[in-house]
């Protein structure tokens, strides 16, 4: 049997060669494919008919669980009623309704919403709003953007420039100029096995003072950070870190952007991480959970002062030269509205708070499992960091991922870190199952 000729299941194509898969080990995958063919609530079904417990909400996005009836119905009905409407100079009601509903659940003062189609596009949009805002205010010398080491802000040029993941940056030339980075806050020596926010590292926010001293505040437009860094292995902000960052930004007139693509829509047990930490950014980047991951859509929230600063000049003129063919797309908007309704009906935006203690205890019970060098958690996010195999980084965690998949558990790995972010409908029995399976897997991997 050729390598790519998968088991006789007529829903699977025989030839896997044409599709160049994103962020995947293509050759390994095509030799040993893993496919999902259906999903319901907490579980996927594989092409060979096995049930897989979803401990990652897809890719941190299926917060309400899979194939939820209201969402499915809303998409079906919208597709039959108004499939597409031009996004520029013409509207349709659901995009406005959605923006209003989002503002209702957003942190106070974030009164305007710009729609995109992904987290990456939301990031680019936020960076452009920040630069243009200073310019419309007559402060156009503020062109610098400050990101953070180990930050992930999607894959477009602005996002990889302010991001801090070396392999995502090094292939792609000069990137944006005028970018600098804060240090990351991962301090395993001081903070290993912290429950919730770590004690040490708030002082790392003061590095912004050093960056300001180097470049001068008058050249800095914005700082962008993930409140909790997800992709690089769940880096939880030390106590008081975000508060200090907010204060320094205020002191120098620098906009603070929170990238809430992962933390938005209930992941921490509050609607947004801004609510959890009590730190309100000027711009908030979202996607993923906005539509339960079902239809691609992102949303950038801005404070009304920022939006209003653009609303000048002749009224027939376009105020902000930016937007996408699919900004506020009718089917995406209908999907997001039904998602918000599902969150509301089931209290999902705050459900994480009820389960966070149980989740924490369950995860930390793995502290004595083989290879484990750190466990971190906040809300319904968790990470288990493994000791890398000497000279072969990522191999152990990838082996754990494959073993988990084969044994009916979906986890995510990044480097040698297992990241967990289950749908917010998770029950305690699922949490127990995740932890039990992980223990078995860690016992088995080399
Ligand atoms: N910002 C953050 C904070 C993200 O986590 C993006 C932007 C980009 O979103 P899009 O929709 O363009 O992919 C993300 C995406 C993982 C993982 O397992 C994380 C993401 C995507 C895929 C996998 O860590 N985050």
In a domain, 23, yes or no: no
Rounded to the nearest angstrom, the distance between the alpha carbon of 153 and the centre of ligand 1 is 7
Same domain, 298 and 370: no
In a domain, 304, yes or no: yes
Same domain, 253 and 223: yes
User: To 10 degrees, what angle do helices 93-105 and 330-346 make?
Assistant: 40
In a domain, 2, yes or no: no
Same domain, 244 and 196: yes
> How long is the chain?
446
Which of residues 318, 346, 374 is at a domain's end?
346
Rounded to the nearest angstrom, the distance between the alpha carbon of 287 and the centre of ligand 1 is 9
| 196: confidence class by pLDDT, cuts 50, 70, 90 | very high
CATH number of the structural domain spanning residue 196: 3.40.640.10
In a domain, 9, yes or no: no
158 close to 127: Cβ distance less than 8 angstroms: yes
Rounded to the nearest angstrom, the distance between the alpha carbon of 9 and the centre of ligand 1 is 31
Same domain, 185 and 305: yes
In a domain, 4, yes or no: no
pLDDT more than 90, % of the chain: 97
| 11: confidence class by pLDDT, cuts 50, 70, 90 | low
Quote the number of domains for the chain: 2
| Choice from 231, 237, 293 to test ligand 1 binding pocket (greatest atom count within 8 A of CB) | 231
Same domain, 354 and 340: no
pTM above 0.85, yes or no: yes
Segment (H or E) for 283: strand 283-286
- State the DSSP string of 115-179: EESSHHHHHHHHHHHHHHHHHHTT-TT--EEEEETT----SSHHHHHH---HHHHTTSTT--SSE
Same domain, 376 and 237: no
In a domain, 85, yes or no: yes
| pLDDT surpasses 90 at 81 | yes
Rounded to the nearest angstrom, the distance between the alpha carbon of 316 and the centre of ligand 1 is 37
What is the position in ligand 1's atom list of the atom closest to the CA of 118?
Answer: 11
Rounded average pLDDT over 170-178: 96
Which of residues 297, 326, 346 is at a domain's end?
346
CA distances from 418 to 43, 137, 242, 383 (A): 19, 45, 25, 5
Rg from Cα positions in the chain: 22
State pLDDT tens for residues 382-435.
Answer: 999 999 999 999 999 999 999 999 999 999 999 999 999 999 999 999 999 999
Same domain, 286 and 148: yes
Same domain, 373 and 234: no
Which of residues 323, 346, 369 is at a domain's end?
346
| Choice from 22, 154, 415, 421 to test ligand 1 binding pocket (greatest atom count within 8 A of CB) | 154
Same domain, 308 and 370: no
Ligand 1 pocket residues where CB is under 6 Å: 59-60, 118-120, 123, 152-154, 226, 230-231, 259, 261-262, 287, 412, 414
Q: Which of 48, 47, 65 lies closest to 56 in space, CA to CA? A: 65
| pLDDT surpasses 80 at 10 | no
- DSSP E strand stretches across 298-443: 298-303, 372-378, 381-386, 409-410, 412-414, 417-420
Same domain, 308 and 364: no
| 14: confidence class by pLDDT, cuts 50, 70, 90 | confident
Segment (H or E) for 221: strand 220-225
| pLDDT surpasses 50 at 1 | no
Q: What is the predicted pLDDT for the residue at 13?
A: 74
Rounded to the nearest angstrom, the distance between the alpha carbon of 260 and the centre of ligand 1 is 10
State pLDDT tens for residues 107-161.
Answer: 999 999 999 999 999 999 999 999 999 999 999 999 999 999 999 999 999 999 9
| pLDDT surpasses 80 at 9 | no
Q: What is the predicted pLDDT for the residue at 413?
A: 96
Q: Whose structure tokens read 């189609």?
A: 117
Q: What is the predicted pLDDT for the residue at 172?
A: 97
In a domain, 24, yes or no: no
Same domain, 407 and 370: yes
In a domain, 233, yes or no: yes
Name which residue sits closest to atom 24 of ligand 1, judged by CA. Answer: 231
Range of the domain at 419: 34-63+347-444
CATH number of the structural domain spanning residue 439: 3.90.1150.10
Q: What is the predicted pLDDT for the residue at 8?
A: 44
State pLDDT tens for residues 234-286.
Answer: 999 999 999 999 999 999 999 999 999 999 999 999 999 999 999 999 999 99
Mean pLDDT of the chain: 96
Tokens of 250: 């205020």
Same domain, 192 and 335: yes
| Choice from 124, 237, 287 to test ligand 1 binding pocket (greatest atom count within 8 A of CB) | 287
| Choice from 124, 184, 230 to test ligand 1 binding pocket (greatest atom count within 8 A of CB) | 230
State pLDDT tens for residues 60-70.
Answer: 999 999 999 99
């Amino acid at each position: 049997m050729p390598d790519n000729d998968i088991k006789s299941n007529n829903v699977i194509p025989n030839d896997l060669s044409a599709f160049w898969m994103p962020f995947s080990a293509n050759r390994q995958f095509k030799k040993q494919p893993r496919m999902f063919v259906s999903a319901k609530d907490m579980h996927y079904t594989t092409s060979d008919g096995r049930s897989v417990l979803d401990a990652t909400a897809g890719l941190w996005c299926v917060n309400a669980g899979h194939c939820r009836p209201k969402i499915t119905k809303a998409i079906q009905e919208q597709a039959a009623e108004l499939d597409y409407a031009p996004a520029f100079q013409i509207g349709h009601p659901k995009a406005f309704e959605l923006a209003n509903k989002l503002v209702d659940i957003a942190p106070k003062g974030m009164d305007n919403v710009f729609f995109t189609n992904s987290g990456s596009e939301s990031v680019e949009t936020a960076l452009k709003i920040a630069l243009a805002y200073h310019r419309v205010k007559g402060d156009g010398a503020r062109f610098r953007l400050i990101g953070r080491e180990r930050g992930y802000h999607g894959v477009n040029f602005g996002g990889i420039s302010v991001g801090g993941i070396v392999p995502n940056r090094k292939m792609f030339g000069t990137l944006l100029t005028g970018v600098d980075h804060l240090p990351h806050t991962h301090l395993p020596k001081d903070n290993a096995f912290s429950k919730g926010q770590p004690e040490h590292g708030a002082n790392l926010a003061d590095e912004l003072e050093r960056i300001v001293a180097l470049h001068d505040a008058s050249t800095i437009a914005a700082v962008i950070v993930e409140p909790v860094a997800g992709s690089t292995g769940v880096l939880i902000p030390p106590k008081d870190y975000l508060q200090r960052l907010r204060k320094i930004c205020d002191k120098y007139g620098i906009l603070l952007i929170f990238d809430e693509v992962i933390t938005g829509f209930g992941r921490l047990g509050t609607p947004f991480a801004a609510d959890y930490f009590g730190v309100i950014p000027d711009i908030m980047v979202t996607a993923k959970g906005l539509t339960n991951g079902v239809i691609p859509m992102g949303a950038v929230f801005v404070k009304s002062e920022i939006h209003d600063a653009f609303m000048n000049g002749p009224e027939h003129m376009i105020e902000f030269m930016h937007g996408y063919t699919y900004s506020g797309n009718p089917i995406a908007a209908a999907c997001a509205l039904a998602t918000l309704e599902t969150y509301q009906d089931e209290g999902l935006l705050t459900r994480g708070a009820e389960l966070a203690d149980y989740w924490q205890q369950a995860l930390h019970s793995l502290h004595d499992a083989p290879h484990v060098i750190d466990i971190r958690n906040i809300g319904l996010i968790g990470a288990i960091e493994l000791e890398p195999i000497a000279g072969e980084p990522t191999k152990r965690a990838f082996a754990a991922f494959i073993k988990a998949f084969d044994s009916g558990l979906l986890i995510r790995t990044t480097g040698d870190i297992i990241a967990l972010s289950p749908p917010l409908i998770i029950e305690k029995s699922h949490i127990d199952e995740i932890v039990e399976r992980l223990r078995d897997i860690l016992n088995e991997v080399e």
